C-alpha cells in the first residue's frame, strides 16, 4: 500500500512566524498535493505538483508556498503564519489521471497558530 | 471553479439499516467521481470510484452515477457501527486534481 508520511504531526506556531510542513512518499508517484481540512469540513486544495521542480496553485494558495525538490518530498511553507491558518493539513500522492487517479493520504499535521 | 455539494450533512441510521448519501457537481467537465471515507482522527481513504453511467457494487457498498445530472450516490446496506465516519465525495476533471465536497457525517447506532 502507498506510504505517505508527514512531519511534524503536531505543531504550535506564533503569529508571524515561519512554518514548514514536510511530506515524503515512497511510491514514486508523480503527483503530490497539499490540502487543509477545517473542523467538520471537506478538503481544500492549497498547492500541488506534477513532479520534481514543479508546483501549481490550488484553490486556496494565498499565504502558502510549496516546494518539490525531489520526487519523494513536497513541502508546504507558511512564511508569515496567521491564526486563520490553524487547521489540519494533509499531504497526498497519486499517479496518472482519470480512473487511476486514486490519491493516498498521509496521517495529517495539526497546526495551531497562536 | 467546480463545486461539489453533498447531502445530507449528517445522517443517523440504525445498525443493519441502509445509508444513502448524495453528491452533485456543478462542473460539466467532471468525468470521474471518487468516494473517500475518513474515520475520526484519521486520514481519508478511497472507498469507491465511478466514471460510467449506472451502478457499481462492492460488498455492502453500491455507487450510482447519472452523468447527465452529474449526480452520484453511495448506498451502504447492512450498516455497521464501524461504518460511522465522514464520507467525502470528489469530482475529477481528468486533470489529476480532485474537488471535494464538505462531506456527510454518518453515524450508525447499535
pLDDT tens column, B30-71: 889 999 999 999 999 999 999 888 999 999 999 999 999 999
**pLDDT tens per residue, range A15-55:** 999 999 999 999 889 999 999 999 877 899 999 999 999 99
Q: pLDDT band for B10, please (50, 70, 90 cuts).
A: very high
d(CA A11, CA A29): 27
Q: pLDDT band for B2, please (50, 70, 90 cuts).
A: low
Are the Cβ atoms of A44 and B103 closer than 8 angstroms? no
Average pLDDT score over residue span B81-86: 97
Whole-number average pLDDT of chain A? 94
* Other Cβ atoms closer than 10 A to A7: 13
Q: pLDDT band for A1, please (50, 70, 90 cuts).
A: low
State the DSSP H helix or E strand holding residue B10, giving kind and residue range, or none if neither: strand B10-14
- Closest-CA residue of B relative to A101 is B96
Closest to A29 measured CA to CA, from A86, A80, A105: A105
- Closest-CA residue of A relative to B10 is A40
Q: Is the four-CA dihedral B77, B42, A50, A16 of positive or negative sign?
A: positive
List Cα–Cα distances, A107 to A94, B12, B40, in angstroms.
Answer: 15, 27, 12
Four-point Cα dihedral A79, A59, A3, B103, nearest 10: 120
Check pLDDT > 90 for residue A105: yes
Closest to A61 measured CA to CA, from A49, A73, A53: A49
Q: pLDDT band for B26, please (50, 70, 90 cuts).
A: very high
Average pLDDT score over residue span B4-19: 97
Q: pLDDT band for B82, please (50, 70, 90 cuts).
A: very high
Distance from CA of B2 to the nearest CA of A (A): 10
Among B43, B44, B96, the residue with its CB nearest the CB of A101 is B96
Are the Cβ atoms of A105 and B103 closer than 8 angstroms? no
Check pLDDT > 90 for residue A101: no
Average pLDDT score over residue span A51-62: 95
Check pLDDT > 70 for residue A58: yes
Which residues numbered 36-95 in A keep a CB inside 8 Å of some CB on B?
A: 40-45, 48, 50, 58-59, 90, 94
Contacts of A42 in chain B (CB under 8 A): 4, 6, 88, 100-103
Contacts of B100 in chain A (CB under 8 A): 35, 42-44
Cell numbers that stand for B41 in this block: 482522527
| pLDDT at A50 (0 to 100) | 93
d(CA B50, CA B57): 10
Distance from CA of B22 to the nearest CA of A (A): 15
| pLDDT at A95 (0 to 100) | 84
Contacts of B88 in chain A (CB under 8 A): 42-43
Amino acid at each position: 500500500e502507498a506510504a505517505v508520511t508527514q512531519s511534524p504531526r503536531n505543531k504550535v506556531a506564533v503569529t508571524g512566524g515561519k512554518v514548514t510542513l514536510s511530506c515524503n512518499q515512497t511510491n514514486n508517484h508523480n503527483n503530490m498535493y497539499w490540502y487543509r481540512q477545517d473542523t467538520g469540513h471537506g478538503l481544500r486544495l492549497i498547492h500541488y505538483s506534477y513532479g520534481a521542480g514543479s508546483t501549481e496553485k490550488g484553490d486556496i494558495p494565498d499565504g502558502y508556498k510549496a516546494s518539490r525538490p525531489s520526487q519523494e518530498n513536497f513541502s508546504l511553507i507558511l512564511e508569515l503564519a496567521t491564526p486563520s491558518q490553524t487547521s489540519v493539513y494533509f499531504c497526498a500522492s497519486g499517479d496518472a489521471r482519470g480512473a487511476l487517479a486514486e490519491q493516498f493520504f498521509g496521517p495529517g499535521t495539526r497546526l495551531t497558530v497562536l | 471553479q467546480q463545486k461539489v455539494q453533498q447531502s445530507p450533512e449528517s445522517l443517523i441510521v440504525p445498525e443493519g439499516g441502509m445509508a444513502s448519501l448524495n453528491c452533485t457537481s456543478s462542473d460539466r467537465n467532471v468525468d470521474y467521481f471518487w468516494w473517500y471515507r475518513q474515520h475520526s482522527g484519521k486520514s481519508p481513504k478511497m472507498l469507491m470510484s465511478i466514471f460510467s453511467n449506472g451502478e457499481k457494487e462492492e460488498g455492502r457498498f453500491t455507487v450510482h452515477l447519472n452523468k447527465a445530472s452529474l449526480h452520484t450516490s453511495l448506498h451502504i446496506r447492512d450498516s455497521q457501527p464501524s461504518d460511522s465516519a465522514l464520507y467525502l465525495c470528489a469530482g475529477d476533471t481528468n486533470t489529476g486534481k480532485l474537488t471535494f465536497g464538505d462531506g456527510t457525517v454518518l453515524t450508525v447506532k447499535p
